Structure 1
């Protein structure tokens, strides 16, 4: 099933980093102090995406990223959602780090390029709105 061509994206205010930990590392308490966080573990490494303010300086990290989430839930049968959203960013040399959750796709862009990414999507016909506040 093809994805709709236009999407609504939620822009999150928190500044995120991507931190690299050794394989098999426990999820550190500082990772969970973020409103947006993810842990991806493989046999070779553990990656944590979380608020930059929380990560100790000694931890290997990259970024300050701004997160955009595609308004979902997205049907698992949809194809081309990320490809369509990433193409205009690639054309503008905006790098990304992507994540997927059960309900949606997330696109993290360097914070200094977040406004540029937003403009790319608006030109494409997408809508970008502030992330909903959850209590």
Structure 2
């Protein structure tokens, strides 16, 4: 069986809360928007963070699970988060239609990738 690949994503990321989606530059290459009845959240490259934020948390790094994940697959994010939790590394996860992105704080990034590699993941 082929080892699951995790790909590093270049750059630093910010997780923030916004007052309006109008504050988001939709022309940027990389961003995630979450909107509920309670809040508007944005994950973006730190340099692309809107000036007006209600709250923000900088210093995140990211990697993604390579390839397109079938919806019938079970426990992929759970396995990764368990390995990182056992190493006392918190995560912020975002899922897209194709795959999952995992963000960890900058000071834990290399430790997280080493722990995952030790547990059978291929880091690219």
Q: Taking structure 2 as the reference length, what is the TM-score of the superposition?
A: 0.90
1:18 is aligned to 2:15: yes
- Structure 1 segments of 4 or more deviating over 3 A? 29-32
Q: Give the unaligned 5+ runs of structure 1.
A: 130-135
Partner of 1:88: 83
1:66 is aligned to 2:84: no
Question: Cα deviation per residue 1:65-89 (whole Å; 9 max; x = unaligned)?
Answer: 1111101200000000001111110
Query: Which residues of 2 match residues 25-104 of structure 1 at below 5 A?
Result: 25-30=20-25, 32-33=27-28, 35-56=29-50, 58-59=52-53, 60-104=55-99
1:107 is aligned to 2:107: no
Aligned residue pairs total 123
Q: Is residue 27–residue 39 contact of structure 1 (8 Å, CA) maintained in 2? A: no
1:122 is aligned to 2:117: yes
Question: Cα deviation per residue 1:91-131 (whole Å; 9 max; x = unaligned)?
Answer: 111110001000001100111111001001110010111xx
Q: Give the unaligned 5+ runs of structure 2.
A: none
Give me the CA root mean square deviation: 1.8
Q: Taking structure 1 as the reference length, what is the TM-score of the superposition?
A: 0.83
Q: Is residue 98–residue 106 contact of structure 1 (8 Å, CA) maintained in 2? A: yes
Q: Is residue 24–residue 50 contact of structure 2 (8 Å, CA) maintained in 1? A: no
